Amino acid sequence: MSKPPKSLRARAMDILSRREISRAGLKRKLAPHAESEEELDAVLAEFSERNWQSDERYAEAYIHSKSRLHGSRRLKQALSAQGIDEALSRHFLPDRQSEQQTAAAILRKKFKHPPADLKEKQKQARFLAYRGFDMDAIQTAFKHAWDEDWTYESE
């Protein structure tokens, strides 16, 4: 005996009970199960209205979980791919000093010692650029990554 198919609303509730998700992501996951676009939009509108689904909460949670690993550029790009407005994501991005300290910490953890030559420095800079850090954060990281007592305020 087979179970009756889940309603769209129940599927949305199951997805949101596990973790935060953007409206666009929820729409993408529910679309194959929706009978019509209107039904899908109605469920999404209800969940947003009741604050069960919030792009703001999703952006905040995503940035909080990934900001220790990636720079602002990569975080913005990833949120944009998830359908989050840039103005909304900008609100939760780490400030410049936090990003510079994160870049320095990542550089120190990954490479353990300062670059010995230009080729090694370029390799380390590419690594940080791939992680989404801008050149200002990368330069500051190279200047201070191996200073034991450096903080942004001491500059």
In this structure, are 46 and 82 located in the same domain? no
Q: Which two tokens stand for residue 32?
A: 């194959």
Instruction: Give the residue numbers spanning the domain of 39.
Output: 8-53
Is 90 within the bounds of a domain?
yes
2 pLDDT above the threshold of 60: yes
pTM more than 0.85: no
Let me know whether 27 and 76 are in one domain: no
In a domain, 3, yes or no: no
Same domain, 68 and 38: no
Split into its structural domains, the chain has a count of 3
Give the C-alpha separation, 98 to 60, whole Å. 16
Mean pLDDT for the chain? 90
Q: At 82, is the pLDDT very low, low, confident or very high (cuts 50, 70, 90)?
A: very high
CA distances (Å), origin 30, targets 4, 65, 83, 102: 17, 25, 15, 36
Angle CA(78)–CA(128)–CA(71) in degrees, nearest 5?
A: 40
